[in-house]
Structures are given as structure tokens and as C-alpha cells.
Structure 1
């Protein structure tokens, strides 16, 4: 009963019913049943496209000054036309992540009593069923420690394992061959012609090996065949040429398989288990067990969709599943960050106007919301490295498009750190996209207080971003404020006060831009003071901060999305970017900015109540996070319930509904899983604005429970136990010294802590003297 697992009492008919595994680079979606099983193989670096320069038609600052003047004058039509002329490059070989191949196992029999499960406590998939009086078992995992996928198949009969195996490529350039009687080799290239020219992409080469106890293995035309074995073990490894110089990568998968065989399956499994649990076991969550916990996962989801929310542990499962998905796709040595679909790929988003890429206007950021609070800081490191590379490439974009120093990136990026404006200004001219994702550097520092990281990574990257905005921004002649623009408020539109009813996208000083810049300047100023460096820059930052616009409340009591109080052209829009100051940032809090909090609440209600509200996975997760920050546990719970019950496939992966942004069918998008996980964590613990807030948004349905291992800003780790809706005890372990205001319900207490000590706190916020760890 303590195991957290997804399980099903029937075969998986398709990808969206499959179960995911991954090792931070290589992944599979596993579906099927007794007669056959398919492993849809994906790999983080398997991208179409290539690195290439992006031509700018801007002459630099002179053009930007002319462009901005149109908006100062209120001539939005001329401004948007000029922006398209100089800041809308032609789409080149941008590319997309693609699925690699399918490994297909055919067993040639039907079975009864099929049970499939993914145990997220150990990251192992198992399938079992009855056939011809015997029991057949399969188990598989993706090993981060050993860099491959391993599968063991066995039977209660000594000769009960027989199957054939073959590979099917998912891209046009893919071939496989029988290298020996028990080895199948393959190679391919990630090619497509929607997001690139169909001729450029990452190459791969790999092997599948089968080893048996008893029986026979033979290589036939197009497949490997196992007959009459007691047990079979399948090893799968692949390597790509992404970022590689020379041809050593061609033999890398063979090397991995040789080492794996030398260790043997059981040692591989033990390695996998210890490596995975080293990170996964840091956090435990328990919301209470009830009868439905014993039901198959799809039935539990269906019950919730029907309004039966008497299964509190389903929410704990969803939370830990989000951490599991993170550990599958974002390990400390992953070559790239999580993309739109994490590390998997349903082969839908990448074949249409969408791309399986890095969207920098919420989606990629939301993938990383649960990393720090979920006690997985190592999983942030691939993104940190990517942001450093993005900043390096963004220097050319800053110079070529704006004539400015520093670096800038916009709405989308790819495996080669694309940083230019995208190919349509209405959604692609998001001048703070790079700054938004770079905010994760600040997040990592605030939780870890790693001064080496601050000095060597966070401050240098964010300092160059600050230099760009100091050079790029201009004083608005009407308001006297320092503003960005023209840029967008992702990906919304408005009616300008220009006498027309033409929807506009571009303006000056959007709320999101100004908030991100404010946070950037303040953090850089604090960091420079701490590091005792860049005195001249400190002066410039102080002067700029004084000129930034304040957050504003609109005519209907809502938080204003743009510098001026425009009418929304799409009041139902899915993006809530202007609420960034509430969540995930913390410029707005109920305890310190009550008027702005009320305005944020009004914004949420207006957006939800509008006709045709765009009800999709990341929006619902954002709603849940915003309500948690407003300390409204019931509304946050309502949104999480909706996300799990109505926006998840049977395998608990979140999806975007048809009709949104051109989607014709449900499309898996990872941000709902990660955003939902982060929102649940925020319901249990908040640590921003100088507070350590225990159980800030606990819903009635989670009346009794506990958690252990959540992390807080200030290098703290927190455990809490509660009963009948009231906190019983909290334990805070300090990894650094500092002070916060301890908060629970309407009580507050100053809290000073020392590194290396553990503090116990009761329901009245009485603090016992800290003990040494």
C-alpha cells in the first residue's frame, strides 16, 4: 500500500496509454500487452535542423528608435508593420526533436489477466499475464548509471519465452541490419521538412542485443527470433553525433552494451535502483489512503473526472510522478534540457505548426518549477549549462537586431540555442524570453545559496542580460518610465486606443517585461554588492530601478497586462504572463501587497469566467499555482483536480486540448505535469518574500497527512505532519545560516537558524532549540 505506482488491468492500445521510462538522455514510451509490445524510443539530442546564422534586417539602434517612435505616437499599425520588416526573420532550419524508432516485440499468443505497472518508487515497468497455463513476466528500466535500456522476460515454464523483435524507424532516413545472430544494429538521421529543409539533422547509431538462458536465438530477414527460452534479456543502446567532433561516437553504443553484458542484468538493475533512489527518496508525501487507492490508475482518474474526489493519495501519486518524470529527463549530465514533451515524443507536435522545442514564454520555465522545492537541484544543471550557451549566442542577436551590448533571446529556442526573434512578430517578438528562462539561475541560487554558482554562473549570465536591457530600454515620453519594447505579452492581443477594433500584439512596457527586468536589476544589484564588484554597474542599476513602471490595477480592478489599460482582444486567453509577479515570482503576496493580490485574484476570475476560456494543461497548472500563492487552498485544489481528472491521459501525462493553437487532437505537453507538481508543493510550503510559510494553502480534502524533504529558499529542508487540518509538528534542517519570518495560518514568529542544525516547531510555532544534524 506504500508503493506509489501506476497500474492497469489491460493492455495499452496506443502511445497515450503507454508507460514512460528515461535515463536523462534516452527514453521509451512502452505500450502493448500479451500479444505484442512496442517501445517508442526517443533521445534528447535527436533533433532535425542545424546551427545556422539568422539574418537581421535591422540596422541596429537607429531602426529601433524609429520603430519605437511609432508606438510613442500611438500609430500601432505602422509600428507593427515596421517590426515585421526589421525584426521578423525568415524561418530557417530551426528543427524539432523527433522520435527515433520503435522496437517491436511480437509474442505470437494471446494472454489473460494482463497487468501493467510502473512503480515510481524504483522506476521499473512490469507486465505480467497468463498464457497456456503459465505466467509470463516482463520488466524494464532505463539506466542512467549504465546509459541504456534493459528488459528481462521470463516464464514459469522452462521453455516459455518465445518472441520476435524488429525495429521500425520514425524518420525517413533509418536503416537496420542483422549484425550477428543475436544483435540488431541500426542507424538513422533526424529529418523532417516542416521545421527544416528535410536534409539536415542529428545522426544516430545503436544496437539491440538479446541474451537468453536456454532456447535459441536466430537472425532472420528483418528481425531477431527467440524460441523456447527460459529467460531473455534485451539491451538497447544508442548514441548520436550531437556536439561531437570526430567519429568516436559511432562505437559508443557498442561500448555501453559490452560493459552492460559484463555486469549482467541483475547488477544493472541494482545500479539503476541505487542511482535513481538516491534522488527520488529525498521527498515523501502522504495525503492519506482510502479505498480507491487499490483501483487501477485509469479508473481512479475516471472517478475523479466524475466528481469523486475521495482519493487523496491520487494527488500524492501525481506529485511524485512529476518528480519521476523530471528524473527520467533531467539528470545532472543530460546533454540538453527538458523540451516541450520532456524527453518523450508523441510524433504529433513535431509534425505540425507546433514544434517539440524550447518555448521560452512559459512552457520550458514551467518544466523546471518543481526542481528546487522538489529537492532535485542536480536536475537543474543541464538547464544552467544551456542558458550559458544561450547567452553566448544571444550576444550576436543583441548586436545584430538591436545594436546593443549584452545578450537577448526571444520566444523559442532549439538544440543549437536559437536566440533571434521568431518568424511571426505577433508571438515571436518576446524580448524577455531569454530573461525569463535565465530567471532559473536566480531560483537555483536562492534555494541552494551556492556562492560559487552565484559568482561563476548566475551573476555573469544575468549581468550581461542586465547590460542589454540598460542599453536597449528607453524613457517613455508620456510617463517618464523606462520601458521595453516593442514586444508582446505572450501570446495575447489587445485593442489599442487608436479608434480601430484591430487586434494588436506589440506595445511598449508590457507588465511581464517590466517585472522580469525589475527582478533582474534588483538581483544583479544585490549580487554585485555581495560579490563586491562592478561599482559603476551598481550605480546604473540603482538609477534604472527608480525609473521602472510600477505594477498597475486596471479599470475593472484587475492586474493590468500592458503599460496602458487596453481592452483585451482575447479575454479567454490561455496565457497568464502578467501574473508572473504572483507566481512563480513573488513581487505580489497577500501579506505584503494586499491590493495587488486582490487585483491578481480579479484577473484569475475574469479569465476563468470569460466565454471560450482556453482550458489547457499549463493554464490550469498556473491557476493552481496562483491560487496557492493567494493562500486559497480550495481553489488550488479545484484546479489540480481538474488537471488530473480531465486533462490527463490514462497514463497521467497531461495534454493540450484540440482547438488550441491549431491542435487537431490531444497533444501530450509535459508542462502540465511539472506545473501541477510545483503547485502541489506550493500548497504545502512557500519560502519567498522572506517568509517560511508552512501549509499555506492546505485544502480540506487533505485533512491529515505529512511530507518530508521539500526544500525552501535559504538552503532549508522541511518536514511537516498535520492532522484534522492542523499542523502537529514541523522539522526544519538548515544547510546555511540565516533568518526568516516563520508563518503558519495567522501566526508569525521570527526564525533565526544556523547551518548544520535541525529545528522542531509545534502547531503554535514554538521552536525547540536546534540540534546538530
Structure 2
């Protein structure tokens, strides 16, 4: 059996059992049953809402200074009141990404007399990015196959039978919004259009328009169209093609013709060539990494049964974890390609409709979710998939200049707790959760990650440094000196989305304060990277001088009275110690301000902080929290604890289709709601357990659990522009290979073993179990 195929012997009865496909722009979740198949279609630019004028804010720096005086004096009530008066906007047409439509296919059913010995199987082949369905009875086999092509920009399907004339079905479309319309264009084609409108996150009148086509081609039999549906009768084989385009950021009318032209080219090319080119294009990315964890595998069991066995404590299926890593890589490739118009949002590029209908929005949250979507991108050798996020951050920075100026009277740019596709950079419409003044900066640190892995000086000079330099300009202008400590601090701001008791009495809860730990971690990360860039690029000498002075005034990381890493500048009492967010762990992951070797006391404090969370009976157990626990313990080189949390994520916070979810009742979730960041966070956990790198150090197998005591991995990326392969047995390194693509000096370590590598470009360096360099 193939270790990298999700497969099921039972029908998909709902979205959370469907199997996802994507081409970097369009998504499809395929829900297959013997006689019915539904494709839940989405498109990443199909957003409601619009760009609203930024409201006029009164006060600027004078109001900021006034509210800061109250916070510094301990008058949190008055400081909070002023923050709401001067820094809290009203909700306008923020919008949300909406589902596009459903393709509904009903297959002709045989009479009951011919249903004996029926069998059914549906699967997602990660090696080829194909969804396949096979239905058999005594008389015939019906085969179905679907893929989403990045090369040819469409979703394509083939239906065939081993019985002559055995393919018959009807196909129709069901729209996701009121404006959706569908018509038969000719006997083989449906034309559809609609506008992304809704009334929860916007006024129900504004949003992106979409137009597309579905075409069916057959051999043998007939295809006819009537009443908005296509009917295939007695065919030997049928091919289905789906195309769509939108007017997002498109003023000209040519966008309406795009999907028809795409369709015509695809039909001319033919299914076989479309399939071949799809697999070739996808494999270029997917095949960069291979992984095998141990020898035991339950691949002969359906995937939902494997999840259930793990939930019951089974530990003899290490390849389920390998599949989860490759599934995360698959979802990255499916959702975020070099030319994708937008990056991955709360649900990637897919959409189950749940976030759109409630207080949540299927948007770009900037206080963990969007960042976590890209946590595994670099280490799992998919750096090009980072580029849609890079472009989004550049647009965010451009939009955030007016917010910095109008809201704070500062230069540079700023964005807060979330954003959309319309350039929203204001705080959220309640300062208790919306006044996260480093949300945009947190997202922009992904630019640092891309540079540190790639060592691409052109990217640094043209993309990363200009954005980060402007961010540094904002914080240099915005921050103030704490009157008691003399530290340079941010504020008022919150520690995402947490709250505290300022006077330890447990009577009055507050969210806003000065100098939250996350803010200070991110500002230090920004200033230090910009200073390195100034020196590397040999420019902006005056900025470099200011950065050095500012870095010297930043607060240190602090340890609280309970031995924990402090979340705020003061050692406040947590109002909700079971809270799902652990933002200040950024210093441990993805940052490196805390490491076991260099900062053992802070490492212990980070462990205490996580243990305090874990011990709470009411812990807000959601997908990204489980991933954060796993990442934190991996960085502390605790393989068993990291394994515990990645096991819980897979077995306790995944639907049958292995997509992760946030539990009902937490953060206002009305159901168990699909949120994709857990997939990517979990992928990062597994990768970090096998490889960690920072500041010229490469740690091999730093958090290897007993359950993976034998295995091999190849193609993981290390910072400094290198690739790493490793083989191990009985929990010990057997051999490693490091391929370097930039010159540099690395310290290679495995446990207590250390060696120094002076690397040249384009060389494969092979090491034995003792980290001795072997001759090529």
C-alpha cells in the first residue's frame, strides 16, 4: 500500500469528509459517494466587501501621549477609555472570502438486482495530486478522477467504465450567493456568474464578480443540456472541465473572456496531456522532500481508521506522521504557488462556509493564523510558495502608511490584528482584541524567514528590506520611553487576544497595556535584522545609528514570580490562564531569542509557561494551540512532549480528511470549524523535530521521539541556503548529507556532538554517525 495516499471505504457525507484539490487559486473539495459526487468550489479572490475610506481620527500623537500617561500611572480604566475614543474604528465593509458554487453530479443507479458485491473506495494520492473514486458491482466498474491544474488553470475530471456505454450522469451547479446564475450555453457547456455578497461582514451589495464555465466532452453516448443542467447518457468515457475568473483588481472587461479562452485551450489540449502536465508541474515541488519514519505502517487501513487508532493510544503507525507532513506540503503547493493572486487565508484557498456566516471572517488574521500557514514553507523546501505572501505584505505596507499617519501621527506603516483583500490596516472594532499594534510586523517577519533560508540578496534589497525599513521607521517614531524603567516600549497594545488583572486582585480585567512581551520580541527582531541589512547592503548609515541606540533600550525578556516567561511587561495575573494564544513564545519559535544552549533560564521559563497552560482543565484546545505546544517543545529539544502534541493534533483536532479544526464554543466558534493553520503548524512541528537551524547552526534530529526510532528524510532546508538529508536507526544518527548553495560556516550538531563546516557553493558534504566528514 502507498504510505502517501489518504483513502476511505465509505462515502463522504459532508464537507469535512471531502478531499481537497487546488491549483494555487481555485480550490475544490471533492465529496464522493457511489452515485453522487459534489465539488465544493472556491476561488481565493472571490471576496465580499470593498475598500472603504479610512475615517478621520482626532488626536494623533497628543492623544497617544495622554492615554500613555494613564497607563504608566496605573489608571488602566481611563487609558482604555481614551484608546476606545481615539483608536477604535467602526466596522464597515470588511468582507470575507466566500465559497463560489457546488458542482453536483448524479450518476445513474443500477437496479437493486445488480448491486451485489458492491465495493467503494475514494482517495487522495499525494504523489500525483489526484482524487480518485472507484465503485464496483458484479457487472461493471465506474472510475472517476479529478485534479486541479496549476499549469492550465482549471479543474478537470475523467469518468470511465469497463462496460460499454456505462457512463451516465447529470451535472448541475448550485450557487453560493443570491446573485448566482447558471445557463446552458450549448449541449455540452454551462455558463455561470455571480457576485460575492453577504450581510454579516459587509452590506450585502459589494463584492467581487466571477464568471466561469463547465464543459462536458464524451466518447460514445450523448450529452445534452436543459434547465441549467447537462445530461450524459450511455457514454464510454466523459471529461469534465471547470474554469472561472474574477474581476478582482481588474477594471477592464477582458477578465470575462479569460475562463472561456482557458476552457477552449484545455479542450484542444485534451485530458491526457492536461493530466501529464499537471503531474509534472506538481511533482517538481512535491518531490523535493521524502520522508519515512520507521518501518511500521497502517497504510492498508482507511485513513479515518488510522486516526481513530492513534486517538486510542496506538504508536505503531509512524508513517501517519510522515503522511501528515507531506499532506501539509501538498496543501501548500495546492494553495500557494508562485503566481497565486493572494496568499493562504484562514481556510487556505478552500471554504466550508462556516466562518463566513458567523462573527469570524475567512480573512487574514495577523496574530498567528496567517503566519502559521507559512511556518513550514521554507524548511520543507517550498520557498517559492512564500512569494504570494511576500506580495501581500508589500501591499499591506503600502496601505498601512495612511493608518500610521492618521491614527498615530507617525511615519512608516502599521497594521493590526487582521486584514482583508481591500487594504484594511486599522485596529479591529474593539480595542480589547483589535489593538495589536505589531500584527503587520509579525506577518512581515516572514520576509526575514525567506531571506535567511534563501540568502537571496536581490530579494533582500528589492522586497524585504524596503518593507522592514519602513516598519522600523514607524516603531522608532511611535515608541516611548517608560518613565520608571527607561526602556523603549510600545503601547497601548494587547497581547493577542489575552487579558489580565493589573492589580492582582482579580476584580477588573484589562487587555491594553504598555510594552507587551510579543511587541518587544517582534520589535527587537525587526531592529536587529534591519541593522544587519544596513551593514550588508552598505546604506542608511543614520538609520543604523538610530537602530543601535534603540536596541540598547529595549526591555529584556523577563521571568515571572511563577517561574514563567512573562507575557506582559509587568508580572500581571492572567485572567484566563487556559487561553489558547501563547504569542510571547515567538521568542522560542519561530524566533531564536530563546534557545536551550544559549538561554537555559529563559528556556526553563518557556517550559513552565507551557506547562501552566497544559495543566488547566479548561484549556482552550484548538488546532493552532496544539501546534504551538509541539513547536515549543521541539525547540526545547523535548521529542516526547512534541510527539504528544502532534499526536493530539492529528488524532483529536482533525476531521476525517485530516484537515484541522477549532473546537466548537471556543472564540465564538458555533461548530467544529475548519481552520487550516493547524495543518501547516503540525507540518512545521514534524520538520522541526528532525531539523533546526539558526545563526549558522544546523541541529540534526534535535527532538526525535522514541516512536520514530528509525527513519530517513531528505530535502529539508536549513537557514543559510542548504539542504539536509538524514538517516537514523535505534534513535541514533547513522549518516547525514548537507548540500550547500551559498558559501558560509556552519556548526553541525547532533546531541552533544559538534563539528564545523566551511561550506562552498554546490558541494555535497557527507557525515557519519560521529559527524566526521567523509570523502566525496
Q: TM-score range by the shorter chain?
A: over 0.9
Matched residue, 1:62: 62
Matched residue, 1:118: 124
Distance across 1 between alignment mates of 2:611 and 2:399: 40
Which of 285, 296, 299 aligns to 1:293? It is: 299
- Give the alignment of 1:274-423 within 5 angstroms: 274-423=280-429
Q: Does 1:718 align with 2:727?
A: no
Contact 2:3 2:323 in 1 (8 A): no
Matched residue, 1:655: 661
Q: Does 1:156 align with 2:162?
A: yes
1:32 is displaced (CA, Å) by 2.7
1:131 is displaced (CA, Å) by 4.1
Contact 1:589 1:597 in 2 (8 A): yes
Deviations 1:310-329 (A, max 9, x none): 10000000000000000110
Matched residue, 1:95: 95
Query: What SS does the corresponding residue of 2:493 show, helix, strand or coil?
Result: coil
With 651-660 and 687-696 compared, the bigger mean Cα shift is at: 687-696
Contact 2:32 2:122 in 1 (8 A): no
Query: What SS does the corresponding residue of 1:106 show, helix, strand or coil?
Result: strand
Distance across 2 between alignment mates of 1:743 and 1:12: 46
Matched residue, 2:28: 28
Contact 1:628 1:683 in 2 (8 A): yes
1:54 is displaced (CA, Å) by 2.3
- Give the alignment of 1:556-567 within 5 angstroms: 556-567=562-573
Matched residue, 2:517: 511
Query: What SS does the corresponding residue of 1:171 show, helix, strand or coil?
Result: coil
Deviations 1:156-189 (A, max 9, x none): 0110000000000011110000000110000000
Q: Does 1:244 align with 2:235?
A: no
Contact 1:486 1:506 in 2 (8 A): yes
Query: What SS does the corresponding residue of 1:583 show, helix, strand or coil?
Result: coil
1:309 is displaced (CA, Å) by 1.8
Which of 427, 431, 436 aligns to 1:430? It is: 436
Contact 1:56 1:86 in 2 (8 A): no
Matched residue, 2:14: 14
Matched residue, 2:546: 540
Superposition RMSD in Å: 1.0
Query: What SS does the corresponding residue of 1:98 show, helix, strand or coil?
Result: strand
Query: What SS does the corresponding residue of 2:97 show, helix, strand or coil?
Result: coil
Q: Which runs of 5+ in 2 are unaligned?
A: none
- Give the alignment of 1:522-601 within 5 angstroms: 522-601=528-607
Contact 2:504 2:573 in 1 (8 A): no
Query: What SS does the corresponding residue of 2:694 show, helix, strand or coil?
Result: coil
1:288 is displaced (CA, Å) by 2.4
Matched residue, 2:750: 744
Distance across 2 between alignment mates of 1:547 and 1:498: 28
Distance across 2 between alignment mates of 1:404 and 1:768: 56
Matched residue, 1:106: 106
1:77 is displaced (CA, Å) by 0.5
Contact 1:98 1:350 in 2 (8 A): yes
Contact 2:696 2:720 in 1 (8 A): no
| C-alpha spacing 1:183/1:376, structure 2 compared with 1 (3 Å) | same
Matched residue, 1:84: 84
Q: Does 1:671 align with 2:703?
A: no
1:3 is displaced (CA, Å) by 4.7
Q: Does 1:260 align with 2:289?
A: no
1:724 is displaced (CA, Å) by 1.0
Contact 1:126 1:137 in 2 (8 A): yes
Query: What SS does the corresponding residue of 1:246 show, helix, strand or coil?
Result: coil
Deviations 1:716-750 (A, max 9, x none): 00000001111010000000000121110111112
1:350 is displaced (CA, Å) by 1.2
Contact 2:16 2:655 in 1 (8 A): yes
Query: What SS does the corresponding residue of 1:522 show, helix, strand or coil?
Result: helix
Query: What SS does the corresponding residue of 1:236 show, helix, strand or coil?
Result: strand
Deviations 1:498-523 (A, max 9, x none): 86611100000000000000010000
Query: What SS does the corresponding residue of 2:361 show, helix, strand or coil?
Result: coil
1:132 is displaced (CA, Å) by 6.0
Distance across 2 between alignment mates of 1:37 and 1:219: 19
1:291 is displaced (CA, Å) by 4.8
Deviations 1:166-214 (A, max 9, x none): 0000111100000001100000000000000000000000000000000
Which of 754, 760, 765 aligns to 2:760? It is: 754
Distance across 1 between alignment mates of 2:512 and 2:350: 34
